[in-house]
Structure 1
Amino acid sequence: MKITYDKKVDAMYIKLNDKKPYHITKKVTDNVLVDYSKDGKVVGLEVLDASRNVVLPTKKEKISVESL
């Protein structure tokens, strides 16, 4: 899993699977989009207006968190 936040566009992306590319994106709410692979598995989530919808731990311009 990899989480990135871009302050310039105030968007957070949570990439759940590096091995499967996304095939289609579906809008779940006005601020949440979900990326699905061809076989229907969730591979990522995008949160728009992240500073209003997610508690962010830092004021840096960009952050990135990866699991090992």
Structure 2
Amino acid sequence: MPDVKVTYDKTVNAAYVYFTDPQVNVRSARMYPCDPINVDGMINLDFDEQGRLIGIEVLDATSKLPEYVLHAAERLDPEDC
């Protein structure tokens, strides 16, 4: 299974799961918010121009993702925050 890049910013409690090659700059062409009733409106799916899923943004990440995922994620904030 390929490695999946995950970033986490504790300051805003947001994580991003990338499904693209980290060496390739792929831009989101369309964002689809998941049903806010079922997931509290905290997960957004990003798609490229060909309609492929390129990433998942998870807001309020500590309530949506397992702790081990957040600990292993690349930090985007100073860890002492």
The TM tier, using the shorter chain, reads 0.7 to 0.9
Q: Which runs of 5+ in 2 are unaligned?
A: 36-40, 75-81
Considering fraction of residues, name the structure with more helix: 2
Task: Name the structure 1 match of 2:6.
Answer: 3
- TM-score, scaled relative to structure 1: 0.77
State how far apart, in whole Å, the 1-side matches of 2:44 and 2:20 are: 16
Aligned residues: 63
Task: Name the structure 2 match of 1:23.
Answer: 29
Show CA shifts across 1:4-55 (max 9, x none): 1110000110010133321111101301000000010000001110111111
Which one is further off, 30-39 or 50-59? 50-59
State how far apart, in whole Å, the 1-side matches of 2:17 and 2:6 are: 4
Q: 1:42-57 alignment to 2 at 5 Å?
A: 42-57=53-68
State how far apart, in whole Å, the 2-side matches of 1:38 and 1:27 are: 17
Q: Which runs of 5+ in 1 are unaligned?
A: none
- TM-score, scaled relative to structure 2: 0.66
